[in-house]
Amino acid sequence: MTCSGCATKVQAALQAVSPEAAVTLDPPRATRITATEAAANAALAAIGKYRLAPLPAVILPVNLFAAFSVYYPLALVLGLVALASFAGPSWMMGFMAGFYLVFGAFKLLDLPAFARAYARYDVIAERLPVWGYIYPFVELALGFAFLFYWQMGPATWAALILSLIGAVGVLRSVWRRETIQCACLGTVFNLPMSTVTVVENLGMAGMAAWMLTMGM
């Protein structure tokens, strides 16, 4: 795609077979595709020389600026949370508190949209859709637990288990090379599912495991 007119035309064609499809020009990407790749490309072939291809399982683009333009919202949020965590007595505890409070809050900005996006890749939400509506409140509860040092044992175990379960769904989507939206920051930002999301989930699981090992 080379202009906004192209993006509009492509989005209209994709929405004919996948109603929730969304298209961006910079970067040129289609997300929330529920149709098969063959069906989507058939719809695109009818309007011109457009083709949909899944993102690679490992995203290591040569153009680092392009990568930053896609992931800067996630990097900005995590960076600010990491910096603010130095203000408390325990950096890791502060990071866990800030992470769950901020990420849970972003999901609540459009809870129905988050629940729909989450159900596309989470192993629990795809079988029990109501989990997508509950999960942001669980994150907020964990955030407050870490912030006020309340019920630390159960909270840390819950963080570990939920992070590992989340990683399973993300790894499965990345392995399948699915072009879908990552809902880690809700649906406010158009972040693609990739190895970055895998690292995020496994990183949180690793911190929770470390806290349990150290008796924090």
Stretch among 38-47, 66-75, 158-167 having the lowest mean pLDDT: 66-75
- What percentage of the chain exceeds 70 in pLDDT? 90
Question: Is the pLDDT assigned to residue 201 strictly greater than 50?
Answer: yes
Question: What is the pTM for the complete model shown?
Answer: 0.67
Instruction: Give the tens place of pLDDT for each residue, 7-58.
Output: 888 989 999 998 888 888 767 788 888 888 888 889 888 998 888 877 654 4
Give the list of residues 6+ apart from residue 147 with CB closer than 8 angstroms, or none.
97, 101
Structural domain boundaries in the chain: 4-45, 64-214
Question: Is the pLDDT assigned to residue 88 strictly greater than 90?
Answer: no
Pick the more confident residue, 64 or 139.
Answer: 139
Going by C-alpha positions, the residue among 101, 206, 118, 114 that lies closest to residue 166 is 118
**pLDDT for residue 63:** 53
Residue 185: helix, strand or coil by DSSP?
strand
- The whole-angstrom separation of Cα 21 and Cα 35 is 9
Q: What is the mean pLDDT of residues 135-154?
A: 94
Give the list of residues 6+ apart from residue 128 with CB closer than 8 angstroms, or none.
none
- The whole-angstrom separation of Cα 122 and Cα 127 is 9
Going by C-alpha positions, the residue among 71, 99, 68 that lies closest to residue 166 is 99
Question: Is the pLDDT assigned to residue 193 strictly greater than 80?
Answer: no
| φ, ψ dihedrals at 198, nearest 5° | -60, -45
**Residue with the two structure tokens 């988050």:** 114
**pLDDT for residue 66:** 61
**pLDDT for residue 216:** 63
Task: Confirm if 30 and 22 have CB atoms less than 8 A apart.
Answer: yes
Residue 124 pLDDT grade (very low, low, confident, very high; cuts 50, 70, 90): very high
**pLDDT for residue 57:** 47
Mapping DSSP onto H, E and C, the string for 99-110 reads: HHHHHHHHHHCC
**pLDDT for residue 67:** 63
Residue 181 pLDDT grade (very low, low, confident, very high; cuts 50, 70, 90): confident
**pLDDT for residue 98:** 94
Q: What is the mean pLDDT of residues 131-140?
A: 96
**pLDDT for residue 174:** 78
**pLDDT for residue 188:** 77
Q: What is the mean pLDDT of residues 118-125?
A: 90
Residue 59 pLDDT grade (very low, low, confident, very high; cuts 50, 70, 90): very low
Amino acid at 128: L
Task: Confirm if 163 and 100 have CB atoms less than 8 A apart.
Answer: no
| φ, ψ dihedrals at 184, nearest 5° | -60, -35
What sign results for the dihedral spanned by CA atoms 39, 43, 45, 49?
negative
